[in-house]
Structure 1
């Protein structure tokens, strides 16, 4: 015999689930362990959707299979729990979280979803099990009631899709509305007022918990009254204690994921899920129940975040005896508005920009900063709950909170940090529609990392995270690899930034992954060379490790001065928002996405945007980089960023550039984009004339387009020789310039001397070869002309060759280039020909014959060699 059961005081989700289970187990009998809620009973008596038997009507000794729905708690199935002591099969269907007294099942389907009725609806849809309009209506009632008409935070997309499916199957929303409509009777209104008047609010780790109580003589369903209370008051969670004649009922409701009502009420023999639950107790003083309830809530609600989770470290601080004028310079250099003041390595107060500026206004710029520091500013410790930090910052009107340990500043929390956290918490609480950067900023992307990184890289990243935890560092994956990860694109780069000693970290990591460290102490960076065997082939790649740094520029376009800093400052020094993303690698928060500057929003909007308004003044090569990313990724440069590029050109910032940075950016632009489009974009922004004024006057765009098509055609030929397409495009840019203009251009962009010499020589060789090109299609002459030239010169020739010459060059590359004599010197010795200059003559003549389509086999070459000279 099979029986189907559910929890005590069955609601619509329980009744609908029993009906659904009956369709899956047609031979089973539905047996309820207790009563139904008032409106559930009214629905059942009105429509009689299926048969229900009482426990006394069933011979429990004959039960072989117990099917439990909408609960997994042993205590919540009442008398039927005794069956679990017998030898029988148990099948379980539930959507509540796990608990300590869970029923042990032989078969179970348990998933976190708004309503169990949604789960059964999905089963019916997948198995094509037909349902009647009445059955669809009951399932709809279960979903609507359990999810608060799809408004509870526990509602999932699957619940909504299930309702849509049920509506297609004839679910009657008029009936649903009729049975879920909550019209209060006079007695219920009186009970509601009693609860509201008794409410006491408890602030537990920043979460507002309201607890109310009332007395009701007649037992009946009052869960809808709890919903009414939640609608009236503004609270995170509510617990209502109702005293009845022979028992006490606790009903819980929650609006926040930090309060799991079901888990809390399991301590009182009840249960439920995160958003709603209930428990029934024997008679006990209400004040004792409230004390016990508060105690359990305190144990369950831990601070979700503490100061350590949000603080920035290391901290830029100032010694107490520095002058006000010096502090002003430091604030401007680092772009900050407040700093801790230190004396003898211990924290003594805070100095803000406002105080500094007023002091200078009053002629006190040579005074010591310690004299004007706020010494009674609020400070916090690493383990201080974040809600407490937020509360004090607001109440004390303080924009900057030092985090102190043993009188030393170990971190700071700013007003911006708090605002971002508050916004994210608001989004999480209400699950409202939000911009992508907020949605993703608290997202964990570990699964994406596992999907888009190779197995070797993923293992290295997890190892790095564990090592960071051991060393007390913060480790982050940064740069283009994070951007590409968000865009669901594989990336070959692995850049790790460490809040700590980057070189020491690299040395320890290399031991764990069996790599080789190449340190760069001057820059506080290191590379790890890692070799792997893949498909029987040895491959190697580099992992870049850097110490988290901040940088400042002493003058426009100068090389930056770099100092160690926090991940936030490290990301702020980068070029564009899309490249200022990071993923935490520490094992505690592995995969946590960090986005301080809205990079994900810009990825979603396909936009290139600088982080601050002086970005191009500090490093004008970022203007070329903006075009490169725009063309490479198909993104648009934001209007404000465009204006800043034009301003940098107008201010002649590029004239102040030193070193090879301009060349490096130009080469990357030519390498990673379609050059004709990118060069046209440079011209549109006035950047091309900066490289050389003559470039805009030439037929540069059409020639680069032709060069791009030529390179694309070369790739189709699968040439074995490697070539640098970016140098080919650079040579095309120089082709129509005079000799002195070429030299000026190469000098302007600081091309390395060896590259400069190679480029000039290649252009001259290509020009001469085109002039000397044979007028007739002689394979021997074509081979003689081209075989001495490198592949880059030949591709350059293709760009400027006439149609007949192009055909000849293509013929050389596809046919003639690989033709070689099959005979070797040893073969000539075997023929009795003594070694000497004669060998070269023989091979040259054999080659000529083969180029003309003769001597098709080695035997024919042997015969030719035998008769050579006769």
Structure 2
């Protein structure tokens, strides 16, 4: 398999070069290695006509890639997960890049690397040489790449090849209006003059074996967008780190960009009162000259730029390990013997995971001591090499909350970098410790904070924001920390509507709710056993309040035991990381987002992850919840979490889940407007057997489910004012292949109440009988009058009517039901039994027969008025 890719945060040159490469490698898949720049994302959103055949990285099997074509990049650190296969035997790598080669680049077996204005130009020149032609759409995309990287053919790095390529693309039909709409606007004359001055002053020098560039200028007037110039200079000259210093009047502006992990420009410019992050930062300095700032900056660089260090400089070796076959009970003995809190797990000589003491202890608590560690070990971890930079290891340990990183020499585990090793490196001179502690779960988790007031203003009604402020104010008066938590916070960050507000209080939640209600004229419903309450506003708006608490499980699948705890422990008890976010509501820190467990990262990566490896053991219903969130949010269940789901299913833990809890999870899945993907996912995991042992997803009941979606959508669009329980329709559709007695047993398994169970099975049987009658009549090709349809379907619930439409594959039957739903069910005769009595008919069973005859005539259009109905009734009476 051939794959075309580029660096993460792809720009238009990446896009244009990939499209051009597709012409040279027509059978290759185009796959972005990561995110794209905002301008490229905007292009895809606004220019839907430019449909491109891209494959998502998560849909690609990396092991099948035999040739990797990389454009606009030569560095393994910038191609995301594709770096994992660079050492794969037999892999052929082709590189097309306009940046000069440098040490540490990916060694290519093909392609072209030469300096010019853009990578797209290199590939376009090859297309020209081969005599190929391209479509107008392709030409426009390639032109976007050339214009962006050459500054509309004005950058000093522009070559004659760029002009020739642009001219050829114009001949091929490139749309310059589209290019002008999306490429960054041209620089102003003052900006161009300043750029030239900065380029003339540019110098590069070495600090601890790292190349750092400085450029400076002084002007008499203000020039905006210096950051754009710094970005251009970095890209034009292929600089690793650049600091641009510009004096303007009584101020000096410093802008920095860095591609070198050891040069953290945000940290450096904070010394000047500025800020930013490791790769981009700025500072504004008053009452100093540019020369003074340059002098101080040079001194600061020698002080703050760390020399390159790699994993080989820090790792501990040899490493204590556990065989894959080791049981949980045996693992505890080994961990205790060596006084460590985690160990790598090996399958023969190959590392396959990491087991931590905390997971071992919890597994033993649940009686799982005889199982092998492979069932619950961590299987996702950074695979460092001796050359992996310490900065990368540091980022992984901090952001992923890990205590160790394994170091590999090829496939052989050669060492471990622990958090202790990292701390020794970061804090030279600290007292050395001899204990190696590799623990993945016991560390004190760092909290990440972020102000989300702007998101609240953008996505929430003003009334909701005010209520949140009022909740914080009530917490202030009681000296209680108050937080919005859970799905409300998750959906706020995703920009999804969610009016269900959950509040956690570090203290007495019921007392807090009662105090708030008294102040704002609300009612309170309290649940003392669980320390929860519901605040009900006069207009019916509700807020759920709970004391922060922790939970533990006596046995797998049991309901949890609850105890009061801290916010961190309250969040740790939740199902998935994306639901562990909290927003502080107290006045001093209002709208401060708190993230203990990397939830914000998982939202960005669209990943569903559990917080610990026994999550599905303690509450197996989380398996269904994972599928529901994956489908509803269009996320993906993380690989390790998926392995834990499979283990929970294999171990039969879902058999211990109470029927009512299982039904509640199914109802939540089936209430979605399109649950088909979730149902297929459940079937893929083998979960349907826990609903009924004989339930499988066949081609036929999948067809019924798909039809159910169509008829539910149709019914919703009718706006009839009738309420339909969609979940009932989907449940009937999913189980359409089950016999009546198996359906009854399924209802019993799901703890459906006996009364509703009897009603449901009775309606199902009736519906199946009616369906059989209608299909038989259609097969006989006999005309069907409206009254027959009415009396077939009268008394059936809307859910059963929609199920009949979904199950039948006959269009005529669907039309019968549609006619009944839209017209016939609302038809009624004008006369009643009193009218028959007035006509002299003795009370008796003939009343029903005559009234039905009159109604049938009304339905069939034989009578249109009350007088005609009375005449018909009189004739029916006189026939006796």
1:656 corresponds in structure 2 to 656
Distance 1:501 1:855 in 2: 70
Match of 1:254, SS?
Answer: coil
Does residue 1:751 correspond to 2:737, yes or no? no
1:763 corresponds in structure 2 to 764
Correspondence for 1:159 among 216, 219, 225: 225
Distance 2:840 2:214 in 1: 100
1:805 corresponds in structure 2 to 813
Distance 1:856 1:137 in 2: 88
2:729 corresponds in structure 1 to 728
Aligned in 2, Cα 1:180/1:844: closer, same or farther, shift over 3 Å?
closer
1:817 corresponds in structure 2 to 825
1:80 corresponds in structure 2 to none
Match of 1:557, SS?
Answer: coil
Residue 395 of structure 1, CA deviation: 5.8
Residue 705 of structure 1, CA deviation: 2.0
Query: Which stretch of the first structure deviates more once superposed, 602-611 or 813-822?
Result: 813-822
Residue 277 of structure 1, CA deviation: 2.2
1:605 corresponds in structure 2 to 605
**Could you list the runs of 5+ residues in structure 1 that have no partner in the other structure?**
1-128, 168-176, 183-219, 240-251, 259-272, 281-327, 338-352, 358-390, 399-413, 422-440, 533-539
Aligned partners of 2:252 and 2:288 also within 8 Å: no
Distance 1:394 1:599 in 2: 34
Aligned partners of 2:683 and 2:697 also within 8 Å: no
Alignment of 1:624-703 (within 5 A): 624-658=624-658, 660-672=660-672, 674-696=674-696, 698=698, 699-703=700-704
Correspondence for 2:273 among 228, 246, 254: 254
Deviations 1:254-306 (A, max 9, x none): 35699xxxxxxxxxxxxxx97412389xxxxxxxxxxxxxxxxxxxxxxxxxx
Aligned partners of 1:462 and 1:590 also within 8 Å: yes
2:20 corresponds in structure 1 to none
Match of 2:575, SS?
Answer: coil
Aligned in 2, Cα 1:834/1:526: closer, same or farther, shift over 3 Å?
farther
Residue 467 of structure 1, CA deviation: 0.4
Distance 1:673 1:599 in 2: 26
Aligned in 2, Cα 1:132/1:804: closer, same or farther, shift over 3 Å?
closer
1:277 corresponds in structure 2 to 286
Aligned partners of 1:783 and 1:812 also within 8 Å: yes
TM-score (norm 2): 0.51
1:70 corresponds in structure 2 to none
Aligned in 2, Cα 1:143/1:563: closer, same or farther, shift over 3 Å?
farther
Match of 2:828, SS?
Answer: coil
1:474 corresponds in structure 2 to 481
Residue 662 of structure 1, CA deviation: 1.4
Aligned partners of 1:552 and 1:561 also within 8 Å: yes
Match of 1:646, SS?
Answer: helix
2:855 corresponds in structure 1 to 847
**Could you list the runs of 5+ residues in structure 2 that have no partner in the other structure?**
1-184, 202-212, 234-241, 257-261, 290-331, 342-356, 362-425, 434-441, 778-782
Distance 2:641 2:795 in 1: 48
Does residue 1:558 correspond to 2:547, yes or no? no
Aligned in 2, Cα 1:840/1:541: closer, same or farther, shift over 3 Å?
farther
1:796 corresponds in structure 2 to 803
Does residue 1:137 correspond to 2:165, yes or no? no
1:717 corresponds in structure 2 to 718
Match of 2:555, SS?
Answer: coil
Does residue 1:588 correspond to 2:588, yes or no? yes
Aligned in 2, Cα 1:475/1:859: closer, same or farther, shift over 3 Å?
farther
Does residue 1:484 correspond to 2:491, yes or no? yes
Match of 2:671, SS?
Answer: helix
Distance 2:620 2:186 in 1: 67
1:416 corresponds in structure 2 to 444
Correspondence for 2:533 among 521, 526, 543: 526
Correspondence for 2:454 among 438, 447, 455: 447
Aligned partners of 1:144 and 1:150 also within 8 Å: no
Aligned partners of 1:683 and 1:696 also within 8 Å: yes
Deviations 1:687-714 (A, max 9, x none): 2223322112754323322222222222
Find the structure with the greater CA-based Rg: 1
Aligned partners of 2:245 and 2:252 also within 8 Å: no
Aligned partners of 1:548 and 1:567 also within 8 Å: yes
Match of 1:694, SS?
Answer: coil
Alignment of 1:52-451 (within 5 A): 133=189, 137=193, 159-160=225-226, 163=229, 253-255=272-274, 275-278=284-287, 416-417=444-445, 420=446, 441-451=448-458
Match of 1:442, SS?
Answer: strand
Aligned partners of 2:190 and 2:223 also within 8 Å: no
1:547 corresponds in structure 2 to 547
Aligned partners of 1:679 and 1:701 also within 8 Å: no
Deviations 1:96-123 (A, max 9, x none): xxxxxxxxxxxxxxxxxxxxxxxxxxxx
Deviations 1:520-562 (A, max 9, x none): 1111101122242xxxxxxx33211111111111222121111
Distance 2:459 2:599 in 1: 20
Aligned partners of 2:252 and 2:286 also within 8 Å: no
Query: Which stretch of the first structure deviates more once superposed, 697-706 or 782-791?
Result: 697-706
Distance 1:464 1:824 in 2: 58
Aligned in 2, Cα 1:131/1:531: closer, same or farther, shift over 3 Å?
same
Distance 1:446 1:224 in 2: 29
Distance 2:252 2:727 in 1: 71
Aligned in 2, Cα 1:160/1:645: closer, same or farther, shift over 3 Å?
farther
Aligned partners of 1:150 and 1:160 also within 8 Å: no
- Tell me how large the CA RMSD over aligned residues is: 5.2
Deviations 1:660-694 (A, max 9, x none): 21121122122226343322211221222233221
Aligned in 2, Cα 1:600/1:157: closer, same or farther, shift over 3 Å?
farther
Distance 1:159 1:144 in 2: 19
Aligned in 2, Cα 1:862/1:550: closer, same or farther, shift over 3 Å?
same
Deviations 1:223-271 (A, max 9, x none): 899x9xxx999998999xxxxxxxxxxxx9435699xxxxxxxxxxxxx
Distance 1:785 1:222 in 2: 86
Match of 2:583, SS?
Answer: strand
Does residue 1:779 correspond to 2:835, yes or no? no
Distance 2:251 2:859 in 1: 98
Distance 1:491 1:843 in 2: 50
